[in-house]
Structure 1
């Protein structure tokens, strides 16, 4: 028996355990972890917004605050929505567990193994990228001190504007600088882990759904194999046709149901991320432009990382939607290409039904409003750039 939870999602399990979101861990310690992580993330957003109370609010200052506050609000939304839906994640994993253990054909197990490896590979890549980003972001605030110590540069020469995330803790920020820096670094680590763990978990479920679609296509291909057409009487051949078509349609329906459950459970999360993603991308592009015009090179790197992460998340989510759609449609092209004309008449009618269904446009939509695809990724990017140009015109 294959344990999907530990074998297919082993690295995801470690990441989710680190932030108290693994659905099979319900101890008091994991609950304390979850409350602590959520408190650290949400408090950082609050301390950024409190700066609006104590400082004169100019347009530039408001944009500077919100360009970072919305990005970190991302992590709060993702963490809270995944925390609320942990039981749905457990149900999805249990469905995968049942589907995987019902596979008996060696070729089908090989296909599923291939998509399992794709899940693991994607998780490793995104985890490595997150570690690099956290390392750079934690190093930026102390970069001038490192240069001053190693290269013996005078402090007056280190007036380069190291990135400062605007916060208000209602304490002497110079006196408690290292405590504030510790809080910021903790947010970087927890936020990056949250984004990586939850994102790769949902991505892994989508990749496994692609594997189910691939198995459905494989089963359709096996309906009209040469071996089956030889040395089998008409009665047995009809029974085999019916069984194979049933098996192909069954796993295809399971894959569609699995994707629909995944989308419905995280529907509100996806819609919020799309909305905040457009706003955040526009504000961060503007913040990078504003710092570039004022010569703040360290801040440019900070906002550039933020822009790249937002674009990467948007592209990956839309690309996965495109891949899912192509896998879903591939079964119909497979059905069309098999030698269906050699099957008995009642089997031809069943295959014709599948082909008619395949001729209809099939979309994996989010709340009926948004269809993940490369085309929509381009549209989101264009909208964000349009808002950026509006902000630039307002500044002038």
Structure 2
């Protein structure tokens, strides 16, 4: 028996608990935690846009403000999607996955599901390493704000130089940065930590769900092969076993389709807006990077925008890769039906296989608001679109 929560979703549980989105009894403390996290993320958008009022209004400054503000908008979209559809996205899929795993009795099927779970754990580990590295680069101000004296001695810089360094990381709000430096620093660091954790936790959760759906489709292929391989020495008993085996394969195939489509039915609109905002944000950050390179600005600004571009690219790629892999696994089920020696089976089994082959003419896709589907081709289209928008902006300013 496979314990889904403890074996495959242990890290996801910790990350979602940190932002108040893990399935548990919603006490007042948890509700306060969710409201606080969501409020901080929403306020970050407003404060970032307020910098347009408190500073000189230029095209480059508008680009810089929106290149960061749209990142915060993506955080809000994902947090709101999981908060609003808490039961349908987090609780119910976990219960369904546990029920599916409990029904697995064949040792090979259990091995297949464990293999996909182990792949999820390895991928989660790599994502955590990238997440920690990003925070180390993006939040150097945490240690500086907590222990300024220690760093001034270690780095051999004066306190005035230290504050000048910190100002580069802080937008100019309506408050006085000189007197409220630590408060603004903590607020800025909270935005980045909560937002990055939301992005990572929700993305890993959805990726893990789709990988488990791929595991179910792999089990469907295994059941079809196992059922057809007993075609020798056909007798009424073996024919009944073959018929039952194919029915079991159809059952888990339908379960995988229902699981993934039901899950994505609550997320297709939020992911559609997320991808639209992501493409625009990519274009703006491309433009900001080009200006930094052309003006010969310091490395820290380049690194900041480069990390944003990298994270969005990785997220868009993994989302489309998961959709492509689900489609490929679904196609593999019908390739398996084509490749098995179905012509050696009884006539009743052949009729059932013919019905399955007709069903295979319909591809399985994860739709985005009925406009497009998640696939590697769609990822290439998004990349071309973001580069095209960047080229238009860059050309207009020359």
Q: Same fold (TM over 0.5)?
A: yes
Q: Which whole-Å deviations, capped at 9, do the CAs of 1:83-110 have from their partners, x for residues lacking one?
A: 1111002111111111110111010001
Show the counterpart of 1:91: 92
Deviation at 1:238, TM superposition (A): 2.1
Is the contact between residue 160 and residue 296 of structure 1 (CA under 8 Å) also seen in structure 2? no
Show the counterpart of 2:336: 334
Is the contact between residue 75 and residue 199 of structure 2 (CA under 8 Å) also seen in structure 1? yes
Show the counterpart of 1:79: 79
Which has the larger displacement, 277-286 or 132-141? 132-141
Is the contact between residue 54 and residue 173 of structure 2 (CA under 8 Å) also seen in structure 1? no
Distance 1:251 1:163 in 2: 57
Show the counterpart of 1:30: 30
Deviation at 1:54, TM superposition (A): 2.9
Deviation at 1:28, TM superposition (A): 1.7
Is the contact between residue 161 and residue 299 of structure 1 (CA under 8 Å) also seen in structure 2? no
Deviation at 1:353, TM superposition (A): 1.3
Distance 1:78 1:17 in 2: 15
Show the counterpart of 1:253: 254
Which has the larger displacement, 47-56 or 11-20? 47-56
1:236 and 2:237 equivalent?
yes
Deviation at 1:57, TM superposition (A): 1.9
* Matching of residues 190-229 of structure 1 within 5 Å: 190-226=194-230, 229=232
Deviation at 1:26, TM superposition (A): 1.7
Alignment CA distance shift 1:161-1:386 (3 Å) = farther
Show the counterpart of 1:391: 393
Is the contact between residue 65 and residue 166 of structure 1 (CA under 8 Å) also seen in structure 2? no
Which has the larger displacement, 198-207 or 163-172? 163-172
Query: Pick from 362, 376, 379: which aligns with 1:377?
Result: 379
Which has the larger displacement, 116-125 or 268-277? 116-125
Distance 2:58 2:326 in 1: 46
Show the counterpart of 2:290: 289
Alignment CA distance shift 1:152-1:134 (3 Å) = same
Q: Which whole-Å deviations, capped at 9, do the CAs of 1:248-274 have from their partners, x for residues lacking one?
A: 000000000111112111111110111
* Matching of residues 126-137 of structure 1 within 5 Å: 126-137=127-138
Show the counterpart of 2:312: 310
Alignment CA distance shift 1:362-1:87 (3 Å) = closer
Structure 1: gaps of 5 or more residues = none
Distance 1:341 1:4 in 2: 39
Show the counterpart of 2:21: 21
Distance 1:16 1:72 in 2: 18
Per the normalisation by structure 1, the TM-score is 0.93
Per the normalisation by structure 2, the TM-score is 0.92
Query: Pick from 361, 365, 368: which aligns with 1:366?
Result: 368
Distance 2:177 2:29 in 1: 32
Deviation at 1:240, TM superposition (A): 1.2
Is the contact between residue 331 and residue 363 of structure 2 (CA under 8 Å) also seen in structure 1? no
1:180 and 2:181 equivalent?
no
Q: Which whole-Å deviations, capped at 9, do the CAs of 1:288-321 have from their partners, x for residues lacking one?
A: 1112223232100000000000100011111111
Query: Pick from 347, 350, 353: which aligns with 2:349?
Result: 347
